[in-house]
Amino acid sequence: MAKYKEQLQAMGFGYDDVTSVAYRKINDIAFIVRVNTASKEYNVTAACRPAKDGMIDHLRTALHQFASQRQNMLKTAFFEGKQIHICYQISSDITSGVNDSVNFIMYCVNQFECVSCCSICGKFDAVDVYSVESNVSALCTGCYGTLQNNIAKNILADSSTKTNYPMGILGAILGGLVGAVVWILFSLMGYIGYIAGFISGFGGIIGFKWLGKKMSTGGIVISIIISFVFLFLAMYLAVGIDLYNQFEAEGLIEMYGLTFKDVLDFIPNAIQLDSKYAGTVVYNNIFGVITFIFSVVLCAVGLRSEGKVKNRSMKLT
């Protein structure tokens, strides 16, 4: 991503790190470039449309021809009513593709008398590129004002909702319980609990957010602790069930009249006395613990980046 940022900046584009979007105004036309490494493509959009409706068909034909001349790298080029879109297949250097798109769009602007317009309401007006929450778009001041009002309302609504800790904790317990049940079921079926570890990690945090209404740093910590307690209990129970079955097969349960609780109490001794058994227990549980940690980190990072764009609104150009 960083190299595309550098390439775009070298071409005179501004770059918004939070949304990873590049923007630039050329002769009042607002350009936005989005690089999508996951789908291996990048999009160049320009907020403008022909001043005369009679030119729209000509513009569409020109874009169609442009696309068919560059079949190998260009994916699509079209006009949707308020913006011209050109989508290229990604390469290690996107400079020539972006230049090609920008030049062609500027040619269209001249040829088909396109005028800058708002990408929401379509009004012919001076537009700027704004970032509102996680969306970056070319807007007129009217549309930006409306979006800003919505954000102001959200902030008000947000500050009036408080984290409900008792309910959040209940949610985390329910989520942790689901993870624990899945863990035990998986272990009974003889699987190592990769997925169960995942569910345990997500379960607590999702449960907290679900019933606690609002996530907080404290909520994340509480959820992780609760989830881990349940995961630990589930591991312990699963080992107990395994050991009980083993003892039963060896006839020890009947011989000594052992209960399930006796077996559970015996686990620490079994682990201490038999290093080979301890190794098996570690092997059966370590992967679940790793996926648990992984999912917890993923959740925390997700919530953090959600917080970054939440209620964010700013003018980029």
Find the binder of Zn ion among 46, 140, 226, 281 (CB under 5 A): 140
Give 46 or 143: the residue with its C-beta nearer to Zn ion.
143
CB of 122 to Zn ion, least distance (A): 7
Give the start-end residues of each E strand in the chain: 14-16, 21-26, 29-36, 41-50, 74-79, 84-89, 114-116, 128-132, 135-139, 313-315
> How many C-beta atoms lie closer than 10 Å to residue 183's C-beta?
27
118 binds Zn ion (CB under 5 A): yes
* Amino acid, single-letter form, for residue 63: L
Q: Compute the distance between CA of residue 312 and CA of residue 131 in angstroms, rounded to an integer.
A: 7
The 149-168 contact track toward Zn ion, x by CB under 5 A, reads --------------------
The number of residues that bind Zn ion (CB under 5 A) is 5
Find the binder of Zn ion among 26, 73, 121, 152 (CB under 5 A): 121
Cα distances (Å, whole numbers) of residue 214 to 48, 174, 210, 279: 40, 17, 8, 41
CB of 121 to Zn ion, least distance (A): 3
84 binds Zn ion (CB under 5 A): no
Q: Compute the distance between CA of residue 130 and CA of residue 40 in angstroms, rounded to an integer.
A: 25
CB of 127 to Zn ion, least distance (A): 8
Give 124 or 194: the residue with its C-beta nearer to Zn ion.
124
**Secondary-structure breakdown of the chain: helix, strand, coil percentages, each rounded to the nearest 5:** 60, 20, 20
126 binds Zn ion (CB under 5 A): no
CB of 119 to Zn ion, least distance (A): 8
As a three-state string, the secondary structure of 87-138 is EEECCCCCHHHHHHHHHHHHHHHHHCCEEEECCCCCCECCCEEEEECCEEEE
Q: Tokens 């537009």 belong to which residue? A: 127
Binders of Zn ion among 11-70, rule CB under 5 A? Answer: none
CB of 15 to Zn ion, least distance (A): 24
Which residues contact residue 290 at a Cβ distance below 8 angstroms, ignoring those fewer than 6 apart? 197
- Choices 26-34, 113-121, 148-156, 299-307; region in contact with Zn ion by CB under 5 A: 113-121
CB of 120 to Zn ion, least distance (A): 5
143 binds Zn ion (CB under 5 A): yes
- Choices 143-151, 226-234, 268-276, 307-315; region in contact with Zn ion by CB under 5 A: 143-151
Contact residues for Zn ion, defined by CB under 5 A: 118, 120-121, 140, 143
